[in-house]
Amino acid sequence: MINLNKQSGFTAVELLITLFVAAAFLVTGYQLYTLIIKDSGNTRAQAKAANVAYDYIRRYSPSASNPCVASTPVNNTAITIGGLQNVTVFVNYTCPYPSTPTITAVDVVVRYNTPQQSVEYKTYVNR
């Protein structure tokens, strides 16, 4: 008579493989979580800088002269924005079309953080 004993459950090798796969899922999940947190912080900082740049565009566009006169009303002026470091603003008026002196290009650049990132807005004013 043959006696076959069947044991239920995992063998040691199956248990090790299962633990390895579970550890790989945990590490991958943690890396994904940290990437999402980092990217959302960068996006938040960029949105704050973009809001400032848009505010400067609205503030300085009405000051464009007719005929166009190239000038720099704000030249790397340091400002304070909550959550951002080393913030500077640059506003520049240029005359892109010499044959049309009524058109002025208003360019605003906001630089922030270390390493330095920037947001640039430009608009054209026809007076």
Q: How far apart are CA 40 and CA 43, in angstroms?
A: 5
Q: How far apart are CA 22 and CA 17, in angstroms?
A: 9
| pLDDT tens column, 68-104 | 999 999 999 999 998 899 999 999 999 999 899 999 9
Q: Specify the pLDDT at position 116.
A: 93
Q: Specify the pLDDT at position 61.
A: 93
End-to-end CA distance of the chain: 106
Three-state DSSP state, 2: coil
| pLDDT tens column, 11-54 | 888 889 999 999 999 999 999 988 888 778 888 999 999 999 99
CB 109 within 8 A of CB 87: no
How confident is residue 4, by pLDDT bands cut at 50, 70 and 90?
low
8-state DSSP, 10: -
Q: Which residue has the higher pLDDT, 10 or 123?
A: 123
Q: Specify the pLDDT at position 3.
A: 65
117, containing H or E segment: strand 117-126
Q: How far apart are CA 121 and CA 69, in angstroms?
A: 19
Q: Domains of the chain: which residue ranges?
A: 12-126
pTM, full prediction:
0.72
8-state DSSP, 68: -
The alpha helices in 1-127, defined as continuous H runs, are 12-60
Q: How far apart are CA 23 and CA 122, in angstroms?
A: 50
